[in-house]
Amino acid sequence: MNTQQEQTITLHRPRPIAVASICTTAKAEHWSVDAIEALFQLPFPELLFRAQTVHREHFNPTHVEFATLLSIKTGGCPEDCGYCPQAAQYNTGVEASKMMALDQVLFAAKRAQEAGATRFCMGAAWRTPKDRDIEKVAELVSAVKGLGLETCATLGMLNEGHAEQLRDAGLDYYNHNLDTAPDFYGDVITTRDYQDRLDTLARVRHAGVKVCSGGIVGMGESHRQRAGLIAELANLSPYPESVPINNLVRVEGTPMANAEPLDPFEFVRTIAVARITLPKARVRLSAGRQEMGDAIQALCFLAGANSIFYGDKLLTTGNPDTQADLDLLDRLGMQRGAPEMLT
């Protein structure tokens, strides 16, 4: 290569960006909403470059975790979450059901495992499970754990001692999303307080169970409120090991059925900002993938997402076909598998 060619390549090489300061800040205990909002406002290529740099420091960027979510008890929830088709007070066509039997859950878990899932999450539409409910779920957790799968549960708010019972049964993760920023929370839910969610996460953490907590975007929140959600997650001490980012699925009959769709690039920005501020978490593409299309999902992987919910249904809403997910990863030269920490 001659000197002129070398100079040309140097001139067209992307300008170095001071990522070290971003990485250092991400490991600190506090992120201000202002700092996170500034990340959202970066030019798109620069934001993705920073997110990808942080991602590569901690994970193999070609690996994507496959997790499966099963509704073990559907509908009839007394909460009024404005996005949720399982709320009893909304007419969404979702009928309340009893908890699934052990053999049904094990059958679903084995199918998920055979399809490549490494984590199996069980969800139940409760405000707060009763002691007898926890005993039944603990039995399910133990059986699923016996298959060699990572176990996760999302059951609503937990009372004292519940997290310990689930831990002793073999629960690896407990999911309890913050949903949105504190100052927008009252516009989404009135039947519980933000502190109620934080208290459940504290009980889970105190019991030694890993935390899975994220939120939903596209519910009508402001740009700054999206930054506020990420700040709440990033400033948990320690922050969640798993962070599902949901794009609102607008369900007829819920108060948010007519919410304005979120700009897809804003969703990608949310993934990138989550990766920068929660550098060692598994950032999961959750609800809303069916509406994204392959190109946006590919951008999300580039922005640092390394986990997806796998299967054709998420509790009560649709999800991309399982073969479609495998085909997409194949087209991208990526592979399924639990992302291992590099640092």
Catalytic residues, by residue number, are 77, 81, 84, 121, 152, 212, 284
Secondary structure (3-state) at 190: coil
Say how far apart CA 137 and CA 278 lie, in whole Å: 30
- Kindly report whether the peptide bond that precedes residue 238 is cis, defined as omega within 30 degrees of 0: yes
Phi first, then psi, for residue 81 (nearest 5°) are -55, 120
Say how far apart CA 304 and CA 174 lie, in whole Å: 22
Cβ pair 41, 33 in contact under 8 A: no
Please work out, in degrees rounded to the nearest 5, the angle formed at the alpha carbon of residue 59 by the alpha carbons of 56 and 65: 130
Short-list 21, 25, 12, 20, CA closest to 278:
25
Q: What letters, b where the CB count within 10 A reaches 16 and e where it falls short, cover 275-303?
A: bbbbbbbbbbbbbbbbbbeeebbbbbbbb
